[in-house]
Chains A and B, each alone.
Chain A
Amino acid sequence: MICVLAGFGIAVFRLQQVTRFRQVDGELEIRVSALNAALREAYLEQGPPNAGGLPEDAGFRGPPPDHGPPDGRGFDKGKARDGRGPEGRGRRGPPPQPKKPGGLRFTADAAALFGNRPGDYYFVAWYRDGSVLQRSPAAPADLTRPEISDRDTLPHYLTRGSFREVVHCAGMGDCVLAGRSVETDLSAARNFAWTLLAAGGAILGLGLGLGFWFTSRAIRPIETISAAASRISHGNLSERVEGAGSGDELDNLAEVLNSTFARLESAFARQRQFTADAAHELRTPLAVIISETQTTLARERSAAEYRETVEACLDTAQQMRRLTESLLELARFDANEDRPRMSVDVAETARLCVERIRPLAAQHGIRVETELAPAHAFINVDRLSQVVTNLLTNGIYYNHPDGTVRVVTRTEQDRAAIAISDTGIGIAAADLPHIFDRFYRVDKARSRAEGHTGLGLAISKAIVEGEGGSIGVESVPGAGSTFTVRLPLR
């Protein structure tokens, strides 16, 4: 940016400089031609003897103001040769010396071109012998005739100190010089240079400032995001990235991050809840064992009382064992442990499970009915058995005496379905959404006393979903519930 600015500044400065000098040179050329005209007038006034050659030349030689130097030069050269030719041919021997004119003869317009004050246009005219024919009062005192050969009839552009001058010599050595102090132009140029520099500096400063502002504006959302992310990584999971609300890519990023964080947070919250619940579930039986034994040991008891206490402790310990097993099982599902899958006839698996569960059903006075149509699912057979057994056990436990558990398998479009219905107590609508939650029990006191951990349905759901299937429930309180498992065919 600095280079561009500097290059641009220098170019502008140079252009300005050149234009200015062109302008000055043009002005000076007008004056030189006026001087030439005045000189010719002076010769003409003096008399005819030799006036033919020079004034004619001088007349031709005043470069027309509109012509640029190259054109004028070429034109002058041709004319000069032509002019000198006849002269040389016409007059052999030393050319006659014309009388030195007394002074230049300006027309009123021409005289107005020069001024008397320093800084005005000035002129000097030299006679061919080198003596000064006339000089304007404004001409610098130290101005001497430039060393220009007699034959050189081209206008010369000279810069002498702070003066810009144009010298033109006629063939015979008469020279006229028009000049002007360019002091004001130079100082204007200097001022212009300073202005350029200041403008450049201002643009540079503004550019840097704006650049900084834009960059920091562009970076700010990223900084916000990274700050929020680092706070989250330090454990504050409820932290969210604040979107700028501008609807740009960064906003989208913030949204994506926020939804990720939200999922993470809810996953952590679930994990925390699960850990707290697991701790609660394990502590309660521990409290039972400790309180039972301490109460019993507080005084002497009868053998029957000791027996009762020991039995209570054993029951409670068994409950803890079931719970720890279930917890381990869930932990394994959470770790996404994979087991081999194959195409399994769901009907066959269900039949085996029903055979195994019949003794328990008989014990509770429950009838098990089946309606098994072959349906093949791509699943791990052990896990399928576990789910079916879980659901059958629930159907038996939460049933009325003399109730029925009905198992139906069928193929539904691209799914294999197993439906297990009971004629039991049903589930209240308020409990339905939570029925698959870990440790959720509709009747805690009753289910815990019967040894249920509150994890059976959660485990079933984890298994089914792990196998790519789904599990759902429909229930009519007081009439019974139907759990339906749908599994992928392939």
Chain B
Amino acid sequence: MRILVTEDEPRLLRSLAKALREEGYAVDTADTGDEGLFKAQNYPYDAIVLDIMLPGIDGWRILERLRKEKATPVLMLTARDAGPDRVRGLDLGADDYLVKPFDLPELLARLRALIRRAAGVAQPVIELGGIAIDTRSRTVAHAGKPVTLTAREYSILEYLALHKGQVVSRSELYEHLLDDSDDTLSNLVDVHVFGIRKKLGHSLIATRRGQGYSIE
């Protein structure tokens, strides 16, 4: 899952990015409105954390302009907590709202919920035959027994599971699982898929030659 964090306070941006990366997300950051808008418009994020008070274009306008072309889930993050502000944010197309100062676990939970809902999945635990993927704790169990996956492996599995029945191309996986600071070789996805198959069985992920992967 790839997330954009737009925040002008450098320390907060840094610690948010750090926390999200440790949660297994690919994280891009922007500290001005213009950069945030550019990235939001040009990369396929799974969610955007958007501060309202930004230098340059403010959060409201980013949201307004983004909603004209994309439905990326947006979590507004701001120190403004007046009722009308919240209403305005939600009416402009924000999917959720958090007031600073916030609790990090709550922010992470809301982001998970946003990403799940955007994929059309309501349950936090995704069941695939005998395999249970718990998106809350980022753990996988096979026939009731926990299976240890690397963070990347888990991310690929979760992405494919959330897009069950769809063919997901390698480039899509790259776009959603790697942030702009990652510098990895293209065959790494294949390596991670190989690792998942080894741990959870060969039939779970099907390879569509020339198109990508899918979970049926």
A binds B: yes
Interface of A with B (CB < 8 Å)?
Answer: 276, 279-281, 283-292, 294-295, 298-299, 312, 315-316, 443-445, 448-449
Residues in A whose Cβ lies below 8 Å from that of B103 = 290, 294
Q: List 14 A-B contacts (CB under 8 A).
A: A281-B79, A283-B100, A287-B79, A291-B15, A291-B16, A291-B104, A292-B15, A294-B105, A298-B104, A315-B11, A443-B55, A445-B10, A445-B55, A449-B11
Q: Which residue of B lies closest to A297 (CB)?
A: B104
Asked if B95 is at the interface (CB within 8 A of a chain A CB), the reply is no
Q: Tell me the dominant secondary structure on chain A's binding face.
A: helix
Q: Using A283-B99, A295-B15, A445-B31 as known contacts, list a sample of 19 further A-B pairs with CB atoms less than 8 Å apart, ordered by residue number in A.
A: A276-B82, A279-B79, A284-B79, A286-B101, A287-B79, A287-B101, A289-B101, A290-B102, A291-B19, A291-B102, A291-B104, A292-B15, A294-B19, A295-B16, A298-B19, A299-B22, A444-B55, A445-B9, A445-B32
Q: Provided the pairs A299-B22, A444-B55, A445-B10 are in contact, do residues A288 and B82 lie with their beta carbons within 8 angstroms?
A: no
Q: Which residue of A lies closest to B77 (CB)?
A: A287
Cross-chain pair count, CB within 8 angstroms = 78
Residues in B whose Cβ lies below 8 Å from that of A283 = 79, 99-101
A294 to B106, CA, bound (A): 11
Residues in A whose Cβ lies below 8 Å from that of B88 = none
Interface centre among A287, A294, A449 (most CB of B within 10 A): A287
Residues in A whose Cβ lies below 8 Å from that of B16 = 291, 295
Give A455 Cβ to nearest chain B Cβ, in Å: 16
| Interface hits, B1-37 → A, CB 8 Å | 8-12, 15-16, 18-19, 22, 31-32
Q: Provided the pairs A294-B105, A295-B15, A445-B55 are in contact, do residues A286 and B100 lie with their beta carbons within 8 angstroms?
A: yes
Q: Render B73-91 as a binary contact track against A, CB cut-off 8 A, 1 for contact.
A: 0000011111000000000
Give B8 Cβ to nearest chain A Cβ, in Å: 5
Interface of B with A (CB < 8 Å)?
Answer: 8-12, 15-16, 18-19, 22, 31-32, 53, 55, 78-82, 99-105
Residues in A whose Cβ lies below 8 Å from that of B53 = 280
Structural contact, A449 and B10, CB atoms closer than 8 A: yes
Structural contact, B11 and A288, CB atoms closer than 8 A: yes
Interface centre among A276, A281, A295 (most CB of B within 10 A): A295
Give B102 Cβ to nearest chain A Cβ, in Å: 6
Structural contact, B12 and A291, CB atoms closer than 8 A: yes
A280 to B15, CA, bound (A): 19
Q: Name the one of A276, A284, A295, A443 contacting B19, with C-beta atoms under 8 angstroms.
A: A295
